[in-house]
Amino acid sequence: VDIDTDGEDCLMRFRSGNTLKVPADSWVINCTGYIARHEHEYEPYLSARGTTISIQPTSGIHFLSTFGAYFLTHMHFLGKLPDLGLYELDYQTLMRDYKEGFAFVSISHTLYNLMLMLNAAPMTVFTRCGLDFDNWYPFHRRLLGGMKLRMHNAAYRKKFKSALDTVRQKHQFRCGELNHR
């Protein structure tokens, strides 16, 4: 159900009411929302204390949760996640309330976040991503696309951010930087 502290110990609480002490320096990643079969309550992709990553549709950083999990854990292990400025997006509400805009919003959102991470992480995080569909294409085609992204990164991010902010204001769903303050 949750992971919480009771003073000094970190405890995993189960639906049965039982608890289990979580060893110090453990990493906990919540991947319970992979397939949206029912509505999920909001949970930020990074807990307020920065100790728990949650992979689910109410605070996604990528429209595919597999990619979200891959990149969130890498950014977290690199110590970059809290200050990176990734946009969270409530995919659950987007799909329910603005289905006709889903593809456009989700691609803008995904590219915005990927470009932020591209600037923050070693290139090996991207080249070793076994989920990367670009690997289907020849190296020269991927190289050209990668160079174009690098050259226009700031301009593209600015456009994507503006589009995401406009859609958020118009349709009133969660889309923006994670704010724990």
- The residue with greater pLDDT, 32 or 150, is 150
Q: Is the pLDDT of residue 86 over 90?
A: yes
Reported as a single tens digit per residue, the pLDDT across 93-102 is 998 899 999 9
On average, the pLDDT of the chain sits at 87
**Closest alpha carbon to 149 in 138, 162, 160:** 160
DSSP assignment of 94-132:
HHHH-GGGHHHHHHHHHHHHHHHHHHHS-HHHHHT-TT-
Q: Which residue has the higher pLDDT, 42 or 2?
A: 42
CA nearest to 88, candidates 118, 120, 53: 53
> Roughly how many angstroms between the first and final C-alpha of the chain, as a whole number?
24
pLDDT band at 10 (very low <50, low <70, confident <90, very high): confident
Q: Where are the strands (E) in the chain, listed by range?
A: 2-5, 10-13, 19-21, 28-30, 52-54, 87-89, 175-177
| In contact, 59 and 36? CB cutoff 8 Å | no
Place of tokens 């690199």: 78
Going by pLDDT thresholds of 50, 70 and 90, the confidence category of residue 90 is very high
Model confidence over 50-84: pLDDT tens digits?
888 888 889 999 988 888 999 999 999 999 999 99
Pairing of β 52-54 and β 28-30:
parallel
Q: How much is the pLDDT for 88? A: 96
- Rounded to an integer, the average pLDDT of 11-26 is 87
pLDDT, tens digit, for every residue of 112-132?
A: 999 999 999 998 898 888 777
As a whole-number percent, the residues of the chain with pLDDT over 90 amount to 49
pTM: 0.79
Mean pLDDT of 134-152: 82
Does the pLDDT at position 34 exceed 60?
Answer: no
The first and second tokens of residue 145, run together, are 């696309």
